[in-house]
Structure 1
Amino acid sequence: MVLENGFLIQTVDGITEEMFFDLCQANRDLRMERDQYGNITIMSPTGMSTGNFNAEFLFEVVLWNRETQLGYVFDSSSGYTLPNGAVRSPDVSWIAKERWEGIPEADRKVFTHTYPDFVVEIRSESDRLKELKAKMEEYRTNGCRLGWLIDRKGKAVYIYRANGDVEIVKGESVALSGEGVLPGLVVEVGL
């Protein structure tokens, strides 16, 4: 076991997908992820300021989705089993309607075997930027079409696109566009 910046990282050999899902269900107060190598990370809760920012941001995406009905929005308690085997729970995610509706009902009740079309990670005070950037690359290489890493501490947003481009936007306030993935979505972000 290793304690690293408030995160408990435990390598568990031989744990199956079902066992990891059951572990998470039995410990609902903990937020856990598993990387492609089987390392389990237990993340500490965010501070109130970050939690409020996350909720407000999620609301903007939900509101856009209600108006367009183009897909399904998920919060940070939703887990994805990515094609590389990692189980991730982004702060905000979205799946296009036709993709979500094509997923078997049984797979929707566990850590769904798919990737988000759109993902947002919001850096909290205890998050390490290097690890979040690696997670964003992992989403992208596993099929995600658009991702935003919001670093309020560094006053920057990293925009990850499917083609491998990463754009860095800096400033006190940033307008983010859903581009062709979430058409018409524009979120004003105060950093």
Structure 2
Amino acid sequence: MELILPLKLDLNQVHLTDEQFYQLCITNPEWNIERSAKGALIVMTPVGGESGKREANYIIDLGNWNRRTELGEVFSSSTIFKLPKGGSRSPDAAWVERSRWQALTPEQRKKFPPIAPDFVIELRSATDNLADLQEKMQEYLDSGVRLGWLLNPQDQQVEIYRQGQEKEVRSLPILLSGETVLPEFELQVDRFTDE
């Protein structure tokens, strides 16, 4: 069976303003569109049931921790963040520290928030190219994300991205720590069995 990969449109000669990109996304809600820091539009494919279930469980774990600590705000993969270095990206799960979120105006919070999350999770689905996801993780770091986890079921690994450090690659199973970014948050990631 042939896999359908995300569609990338190189727009080097066409420069969409932030408002034009926002309107493109709002006008086409059936598409999951991102924009790389280089300006390429990326139309993402929907995920299957197993990836969607995993993503939801990770968001639930992050949300439960956040409800207990009240330290910030949790976001789903439907949220596009307008990153400071130019990309407009949708992590599978994201968290922003409360005071940073509250510093945004109500208008900024309604549209694509012009802020880099403090923490992101990306879960590689069957249609995701690993190199593209690694580039996306680097965009997050370049824009100020402090901690990111790239979960890779195909290789039974997780890549840990930290501000100012080389990425760390660990085999599954693993108990991930939110470190100082998400105090006392832990996420158990077992081996993926149904890929």
Query: Shorter-normalised TM-score: what interval?
Result: over 0.9
Q: Aligned-pair RMSD on alpha carbons? A: 1.2
CA contact (8 A) 1:117 1:143 kept: yes
| 1:33 Cα deviation after fit | 0.3
1:61-72 → structure 2 map (5 Å cutoff): 61-72=62-73
CA contact (8 A) 2:85 2:142 kept: no
Instruction: Give me the whole-angstrom Cα distance separating, in 1, the residues matched to 2:102 and 2:117.
Output: 13
Q: Structure 2: which 5+ runs fail to align?
A: none
Structure 1 residue 146 corresponds to structure 2 residue 164: no
Residues 76-122 of structure 1, C-alpha deviations (whole Å, 9 max, x = no match)? 01011111111000000000001001111111111111101000000
TM-score (norm. length: structure 1): 0.94
Q: Structure 1: which 5+ runs fail to align?
A: none
CA contact (8 A) 2:37 2:139 kept: no
Segments of 4+ moved more than 3 angstroms: none
CA contact (8 A) 1:158 1:167 kept: yes
Residues 5-47 of structure 1, C-alpha deviations (whole Å, 9 max, x = no match)? 5222223413211111111111112111001222101000011
CA contact (8 A) 1:123 1:149 kept: yes
Question: What's 2:116 paired with?
Answer: 115
Percent identity over the alignment is 38
1:129-168 → structure 2 map (5 Å cutoff): 129-168=130-169
Instruction: Give me the whole-angstrom Cα distance separating, in 1, the residues matched to 2:124 and 2:156.
Output: 11
Question: What's 2:179 paired with?
Answer: 179
Instruction: Give me the whole-angstrom Cα distance separating, in 2, the residues matched to 1:37 and 1:163.
Output: 22
Per residue, is there more strand in 1 or in 2? Answer: 1
Letter of the 1:35 partner, please give it: S
Instruction: Give me the whole-angstrom Cα distance separating, in 1, the residues matched to 2:152 and 2:37.
Output: 25
